[in-house]
Structure 1
Amino acid sequence: MRLSFISTVLPYRPPAKWREFNAVSFTLEFMAVETISLRKFRSHGLSAIRMWDEDGKILLTCEGAVRLSLTCRWMRIIGITGVLQSGSL
């Protein structure tokens, strides 16, 4: 399962080529998903994402425009890209 989202929190000391960007796009892939619950989904809006590991598993919760929780065995970063975000979320 893949999850893509945009964060307006820039990384500490971003690359110089990101100078013109005001947001970061992330794409994460979750593998060996054991549980998943999607209770709300909007394509635009704000959500708080929290991820941690516990007992050898990765847990993720998302609350806001999207309400999601999942448990998986592995996660990998597919992409991190600087973007120019215009307008409100």
Structure 2
Amino acid sequence: MADEDSLIGKYLEISGELAGCIEAETEKDLLVRRAIVINEHIGLCEQAVYVDKKVLDSYWVKIVELSAIPETINSIDSTDLVRKWLNM
């Protein structure tokens, strides 16, 4: 796949919400790292999942490019963010 057609580094949006960042791409799959957005801040989790590229044909799924850079979450200063990430 040509570099200009690569989806790596772009984001997957599902039903209008940011789902994750595309970390790797094969012919059939995307490796998507889970993203979380709180108060317009984007953070990336360690969790990732392979997604079949066929889901990109769904009207509720789209690929987006963002100018924002994901942040590293400081677990001491950002307790609320960590709780949200852990679904607590």
Band the TM-score falls in, shorter-chain normalisation: under 0.3
TM-score (norm 1): 0.26
Q: Which has the higher helix share?
A: 2
TM-score (norm 2): 0.26
Q: Which has the higher strand share?
A: 1
